[in-house]
Amino acid sequence: MRILFMGTPDIAAKCLEIMLENGLNVVGAVSQPDRPKGRGHKLMPTDVKLAAEKANIPVFQPEKIKSGELMPVLEDLKPDIIAVVAYGKILPKYVLDFAKLGCINMHASLLPKLRGAAPIQWAVINGERETGVTTMLMDEGLDTGDMLLCEKIEIGEYETSEELFCRIAELGGELLTKTIKNIENITPVKQPKGEESYAPMITKEMAHIDWSEPTEKISKLICGMNSWPMAYAFYKDEQVKVISAVKGGACKGENGEIVGLTKGKGLQVKTPDGSIYIKELQFAGKKRMLAEDYLRGNSIEFGTVLR
């Protein structure tokens, strides 16, 4: 079976690596164009490009694909199946219809829940107890295609999006491989109606902590925004990122007020129904540090209200 792989970020690269480890015949990889990154704005290759080149797989990076730009690649490689993981663009009909076995997508949620760009982060932010991965036959909708296989995974109480991301990548790569190997024996199933939810792209503004929210919601926001963009608040006029935190009991004060420091837990901040212990933080221009370590060389005024 000739497979064309389409993907861009690290989760896609991991899936590609797992497919190759399992002996699948990937004849080409399509990824987004290299983009400038960092302070020097140096052009950086995508993770999928790096993984494909390491395996001596030809890489194609068209700037656009909606008007037939990918057709020469398809006609040259003649894939039997197209595997897609976080490519980053809606696939036009000529791509969806080209391979005789279709386009198979690995989506990082239990469809139809959390369709869209950021299912892993929103599963954590929403306080879901479990999520998973689903393989599906792609259609022209946004993650609306018929489902093939799915597998569940539990989410830990303080598991971050980054930690869950790593587990999902492994699980997704294995499930995608299993799906492709058994594609002709799997019966597609329609997604259930009325159970849809969406996972829009994460923005930096979404990471601003509202200290009037319940403790549980704040805790999940902190976990869900790790590793990007990181939950944050303002100490006086200075932004501080909250890297990690744990939930605490009730205390007196105003919502968002720093009420003290507890050894082994961190800075205690008042919430409406309890408190949050900020364990690890990062002030602008400084390294991320445990709150206890930060206070050994810096001062934080107890009684200050974070906003």
* Cα 73 from Cα 56, distance rounded (Å): 17
163-206 pLDDT, tens digit each: 999 999 999 999 999 999 999 999 999 999 999 999 999 999 99
At residue 38, does pLDDT exceed 90?
Answer: no
Is the pLDDT confidence value at 49 over 90? yes
Q: Which band of pLDDT confidence, cut at 50, 70 and 90, is reported for residue 41?
A: confident
62-96 pLDDT, tens per residue? 999 999 999 999 999 999 999 999 999 999 999 99
Q: What is the pLDDT of residue 40?
A: 77
Q: Give tens-digit pLDDT for 116-129.
A: 999 999 999 999 99
Q: Which amino acid is at 98?
A: F
DSSP the chain: --EEEEE-SHHHHHHHHHHHHTT--EEEEE-PPPEEETTTTEEE--HHHHHHHHTT--EE--S--TTSTTHHHHHHH--SEEEEES-SSPPPHHHHTTSTT-EEEEESSSTTTTBSS-HHHHHHHTT-SEEEEEEEE--SSSS-SPEEEEEEEE--TT--HHHHHHHHHHHHHHHHHHHHHTGGGPPPBPPPTT---B-PPP-GGGGB--TTS-HHHHHHHHHHTTTTT-EEEEETTEEEEEEEEEEE---SS-TTBEEEEETTTEEEEEETTEEEEEEEEEETTS--EEHHHHHHHS---TTPBP-
């869950």: which residue's tokens?
164
Q: What is the pLDDT of residue 42?
A: 86
- Tens of pLDDT, residue by residue over 126-166, are 999 999 999 999 999 999 999 999 999 999 999 999 999 99
pTM value is 0.95
Going from the C-alpha of 95 to that of each of 37, 168, 181, 236, the distances in angstroms are: 29, 26, 21, 53
